[in-house]
Amino acid sequence: MLLYYITDRKQFPGTQAQQREQLIAKITEAARAGVDYIQLREKDLSARDLEVLASQVVRAVPTSGHTRLLINSRTDVALAVGADGVHLRSNDISPTDVRRMWRSAGLTTEPVVTMSCHSEIEVMAAKAAGANFVVFGPVFGKGDAPGRGIGELRAACAHGIPVLALGGVNAENASSCLEAGAAGVAGIRLFQDSNRGAILRHFRD
């Protein structure tokens, strides 16, 4: 089961500097607890500010662990800081372009390339484009906004590419996502607002 932590420093209280400090602390804790992937999603930052933050995160994540760091949308930043790959939105460059840039940079390792998907058709397109896996959601609704539901998640999981369930996923409903075929779960609050050690023990047991 894959566990995928999506960051959002703005959910932390305090000044911008304090939010960054808390974010790095949470990322470090998550990596030490054994989260598989961390997606640095701070999409409001400029490329330069994102690179500075990503560099701090790379230094904070234990090098001996198995946690992989993905940068949201910015392949150039991922390359600059030595991240493991990128997470792409539907309007970003293609996984093929990411891997071409990786090779052009002289790297012999293959990047991890994930994609956001909101429909079964998008999942099929992501597979055809060469994504390693997709993050699908929102599965569960929030307030007046409905989720895609377990049925759509099940359909998304039927195309031979790993799918991670996102959106309203918690310790209580994660099992229904796995039963629908999800390879794991993704979230912001799931990992950022919780005791990471307890959450991981719950999912790993």
Q: The domain spanning residue 145 has which CATH number? A: 3.20.20.70
Between residues 150 and 171, which one has the greater pLDDT? 150
Mean pLDDT of 1-16: 95
Overall number of domains in the chain: 1
pLDDT tens for 49-99 read 999 999 999 998 876 678 999 999 999 999 999 999 999 998 899 999 999
SS3 195: coil
Would you state the pLDDT for residue 142? 82
Between residues 204 and 149, which one has the greater pLDDT? 149
Query: What is the extent of the structural domain holding 71?
Result: 2-204
Checking if the pLDDT of 158 tops 70, the result is yes
Long-range contacts of 116-124 (CB under 8 A, 24+ apart): 116/87, 116/88, 116/89, 116/90, 117/90, 117/156, 117/163, 118/148, 119/148, 119/152, 119/156, 120/152, 120/155, 120/156, 120/159, 122/90, 123/156, 123/159, 123/161, 123/163, 124/159
Looking at residue 11, its amino acid is Q
- CB of 36 closer than 8 Å to CB of 196: no
Would you state the pLDDT for residue 204? 64
Q: How far apart are CA 173 and CA 20, in angstroms?
A: 30
Mean pLDDT of 19-48: 94
Task: Tell me what percent of the residues of the chain surpass a pLDDT of 70.
Answer: 94
Token pair listed for 144: 């007046």
Would you state the pLDDT for residue 205? 63
Would you state the pLDDT for residue 63? 64
pLDDT band at 197 (very low <50, low <70, confident <90, very high): low
> What is the chain's mean pLDDT, rounded?
92
Between residues 158 and 146, which one has the greater pLDDT? 158
Would you state the pLDDT for residue 146? 87
Tell me the three-class secondary structure of 8-24, residue by residue.
CHHHCCCCHHHHHHHHH
Would you state the pLDDT for residue 182? 98
- Determine the Cα angle at 89 with ends 88 and 94, to 5°: 55
The pair phi, psi for residue 159, each rounded to 5°, is -120, 20
